[in-house]
Amino acid sequence: MTVYNFNAGPAILPPTVLSQAQEELRDFAGTGISVMETSHRSKEFEAINNEVEARFKALLGIESGYRVLLLQGGASTQFAMIPLNFLAADAVADYIVTGVWAEKARDEAQKIGKVHIAADTAADKHNRIPTQAELQFSENPAYVHLTTNNTIYGTQWQTIPETNGVPIVADMSSDIFSRPFDASKFGLVYAGAQKNLGPSGVTVVLIREDWLDKGAKNVPTMLRYSTHAKNNSLYNTPPTFGVYMLNLVLGWIQEQGGLAGMAEYNTRKANIVYNAIDNSGGFYRGHAVTDSRSQMNVTFNLPNQELEKQFLAETKAQGMLGLPGHRSVGGVRASIYNAMSIEGVEALASFMAHFAAKHG
């Protein structure tokens, strides 16, 4: 039986990447040992570390002005690390709240400094992304924070909002490198690797070099971005296997045609599943409004909870794993990140049509 992995994270990895990791597991780069046993101070690991930054920048089409940092602690640590470094006592940061992870980022920032809510979609159960006209920025914010994709509710920013030159800080954990983006709009981008870039354990940060100079100097050493930039992300022992896997995935993305190729592929996959919802005669009800739909996480409900339980049991029996919605909202969630195949989404869409015809 073919297994299709729809887990929201840790999520599916490209099969070719897993095969290469398997081949090299006990003998990395001719060293005779695993990359997990290789010193992070060795020339072999340093080459991986450097290649990650080079590949990351190449995929974005940037040569200078930014650093790529490989950190630990997940995106959740970034929620506090960002205001610790860049939210001064006399400043305000603007937060756009569009889901649970945006709420968590806001909550951490409020423990550290002054926060202004530029928009909040909680009243609509986070089923949409706010329009540009709805955004009410403060007079002179230190930065504007947003979450580009919301895994729980299945919404995604289709275009990055205009902020009148104020640097944007973005949590891209669940749609990083699923499509191109203009790095010049961002002061800092962060993403846990475990959805689109690799296994859990490593967090990628893209940060503007002029921002590094503005970071607070009284922050604990491990929580300063400048610490990791000066030490090429090797201040302490990094998650070496996670970095190695991240490098392989970045190489795989390059082979798929880069970010433009991934965007085309992801649009095709998302359309297959959304068409199954839209053509079901109302049997399936998507959570997100149409113009806010995520290409990474498709969330929907069936007519009642009993049918949802049956749907989830039958899909699991057929090898479709990870489809239950987040515990806070229920329903069904198909996470179709970069590595999900066309065959996987076609299998899901086919089952959805069959199930709706039988029970509708």
Of 7, 42, 44, nearest to 29 by C-alpha is 44
User: Is CATH 3.40.640.10 the right assignment for the domain spanning 15-255?
Assistant: yes
Catalytic residue among 57, 101, 157, 175: 101
Q: Which fold does the domain 258-359 belong to in CATH?
A: Aspartate Aminotransferase, domain 1 (3.90.1150)
Cis-peptide into 220, omega within 30 deg: no
Q: What is the pLDDT of residues 24-45, one digit of tens each?
A: 999 999 999 999 999 999 999 9
The pTM for the full model equals 0.97
Q: What is the pLDDT of residues 192-236, one digit of tens each?
A: 999 999 999 999 999 999 999 899 999 999 999 999 999 999 999
Catalytic residue among 171, 175, 252, 269: 171
The 3-class secondary structure across 276-331, one letter per residue, is HHHCCCCCCEECCCHHHECCCEEEEECCCHHHHHHHHHHHHHCCEECCECCCCCCC
The answer to whether 252 touches 21, Cβ cutoff 8 Å, is no
101 classed as catalytic: yes
pLDDT surpasses 90 at 183? yes
171 classed as catalytic: yes
Domain ranges, ordered by start, for the chain: 15-255, 258-359
Q: What is the pLDDT of residues 124-169, one digit of tens each?
A: 999 999 999 999 999 999 999 999 999 999 999 999 999 999 999 9
pLDDT surpasses 90 at 49? yes
Catalytic residue among 195, 211, 252, 269: 195
